Structure 1
């Protein structure tokens, strides 16, 4: 007798009947927290103090996740989201909460994560020094818009992906983008649909530089000349610099049109840049390089890091995960000897070029994998001060070299407080004390939390 496999029902994904739940707080991801039959329930979109109707979408042994169906008793802090694409587009998830309360929530979440995941069990008011904030809208100077081609409709969608999905939500504006970028979405969406090779288009990256707007269009195949001409006319009309990027990451500038000169190696594409340190530092970057998307917050963040480190002439300061010199270059203005280390070779080259353009001869940049053994690195040795700006994974591996470096003070800029909290264990082990902590609201209207911490060697 033949036997056929019948998959078991996934009980953890089964929907429940409607439940009425009282939300008592928010978790660090911005979801409302309630309790049902002794089990913690997380409800995205719900706010503390609300009574809501919800439905389980996932159940585990110790917790459950629920979908918000209706807010029956709203919080006083609830507001109407200003974006009509909210909850469809995956860009923002906190527009329903007043911005000042978003900041307060992030500050509380930051302290709770430090106390829960690190050896530090108390963060007093003297340590938590405040927030680095910006305007809550039109703050993003860079964005990557996804494309999705619908073969049946012969239509290309341009927008952002919906939460946890590959589905692209078509948009014609975005109020968290800088206004010049938001205004480009609708005309680009219309123009890209006119191209013959629209099935060969990837993402569109928009960047607001200090003095221009750039658009980088990813292409999987070479475009026909008629399409290129169409795009050149569009770029001229919109007054943007337009580049194509192929599968190998190579950039071709379409507009403004470059003159071709044989054997002229200086015929390079001018790079976008931003200014720091009261416009004394020009920081250039290549499209695709990492730069902080919130210009207002970045400037304040750099100023605070320098204030906390208090660099002095003659000191040796190490900047790990330095990128294109966002912190290193302004630090070098203080006449200290600055060493920047970065894991991406192209960014090291760009950082060195930036130092040259800014006339800084007291700074050197090195390439190194900062998650590997650093003992043979020429720059590793006694330093006076240390700055860290790692990716989400944190700086655990390189902090194990603190014994060789012995900095008096360390500024740690974190885009993931959970990894910061983990790394505090290493810092405490080597005798460092947390003396200042600041919440950084790099991404208003989202749950994303960033932080800056100052650690000083106990004497």
Structure 2
């Protein structure tokens, strides 16, 4: 999606005395909300129904931000975070809130955003899609940081609002097989002579097996490659190098692309760096629910925009639809075609296209029966301007950013659609991140 520069509003830094606040709810970013002198105050770390001591550190025209100093009266849902890195690592920010309360808060925040920003309400609020609260991530990208004074390499996640990398030995939200790799991998990387040439590390645990993808900024010597190959063999994990030109070199393990499978038998190969949903359990629930909400009938023409490698396209085709998938990354379009062939899917075709551009000459644009959208965080606003040419009876919109979903309600409502269903997708437990699925239907 195209990104445009927008000047940020000027902030007034104004540190005030510590004072007491009563927190009423969480916002969609996981911060506690309180009121002070007629202004909303956001307090990260504070929970609903708590009285806290905090200090205002940032003033804006209509709201302020405060730093949590002390919890005076704790919420019954507050718990002790189980991860030893919590509070330093920037990955999780809701481990101090009981899991069911996390989901309640996310659902409330989602409903509020759709009501206030989207200026609509769903006819039906569906049950959240949820799964395990721990060890759910099948994919993660770890950062590296070379420390000049100690000549050691840190491996982990970046600290909150910082470039510093928090060195970790394990991570309780990663699949256990991946979490257990971190400590020995850290030791292996610190034995390399080219520690300064290492970039991020991608960990994968999919149906094709575990995989470590190591980003390098300059070629490694044979000794370093041998050390990495030995690590792969010892831990039975595919070890792959990824250079500046996106060239892959497998040092140990199967050289084929990693892949995951869905319940319908679809097999989806992908290249390291391609987008896939990190929570496999929730991804399957999303696919099942999307097909159910669209009520696919044999022979219907369905358009799948932002289709990636075919995560929704292939199951839609297997449900009996004639599906057109459109994706902005050419390599992913090519892979989606391969995935369709490997999965025995004939009722799907794929196109490459910039979905933020003028689509008037796009060969796939025209009347369709149903539409599925799975955009990036920027949303699908530009694509929705072409609804008049598509005129689908039903639209399923999968959102990883409730703010852009709320904004995109405007063109949908303006063209005669109503929000029939809305449901939370808890893709990232222990974090504030909210994903959602919405069903829009053309009013009769």
User: How far did 1:60 drift?
Assistant: 2.1
Partner of 1:204: 201
**Distance in 1 separating the partners of 2:230 and 2:365:** 52
1:100-115 → structure 2 map (5 Å cutoff) = 100-115=100-115
1:18-417 → structure 2 map (5 Å cutoff) = 18-120=18-120, 122-123=121-122, 126-256=123-253, 269-276=255-262, 278-417=263-402
The 1:428–1:61 alpha-carbon spacing in structure 2 relative to 1, beyond 3 Å, is: closer
User: How far did 1:14 drift?
Assistant: 4.0
Runs ≥4 residues deviating over 6 A: none
Which structure's CA Rg is the greater one?
1
Deviates more, 1:420-429 or 1:132-141: 420-429
Contact 2:46 2:68 in 1 (8 A): yes
> Per the alignment, in what secondary structure is the counterpart of residue 330 of structure 1?
helix
**Distance in 1 separating the partners of 2:61 and 2:377:** 28
Deviations, residues 130-189 of structure 1 (Å, cap 9, x unaligned): 100010000000000000001111110000001111010000000000000000100011
**Distance in 2 separating the partners of 1:252 and 1:205:** 14
> Per the alignment, in what secondary structure is the counterpart of residue 128 of structure 2?
strand
> Per the alignment, in what secondary structure is the counterpart of residue 126 of structure 2?
strand
User: How far did 1:70 drift?
Assistant: 1.1
**Distance in 2 separating the partners of 1:119 and 1:426:** 12
User: How far did 1:346 drift?
Assistant: 0.5
Deviates more, 1:183-192 or 1:51-60: 51-60
Partner of 1:432: 417
Matched, 1:17 2:17: yes
**Distance in 1 separating the partners of 2:366 and 2:127:** 33
**Distance in 1 separating the partners of 2:419 and 2:39:** 35
> Per the alignment, in what secondary structure is the counterpart of residue 140 of structure 1?
coil
**Distance in 2 separating the partners of 1:314 and 1:38:** 57
> Per the alignment, in what secondary structure is the counterpart of residue 359 of structure 1?
coil
Deviations, residues 62-115 of structure 1 (Å, cap 9, x unaligned): 222111111111010100011111110010000111110111111111110001
Contact 2:264 2:315 in 1 (8 A): no
**Distance in 2 separating the partners of 1:55 and 1:106:** 25
Partner of 2:7: none
Partner of 1:262: none
The 1:448–1:11 alpha-carbon spacing in structure 2 relative to 1, beyond 3 Å, is: closer
**Distance in 2 separating the partners of 1:84 and 1:16:** 31
Number of residue pairs matched by the alignment: 435
Q: Which structure 1 residue ranges, 5 or more long, are not aligned?
A: 1-9, 259-268
Contact 2:269 2:309 in 1 (8 A): yes
Partner of 1:455: 440
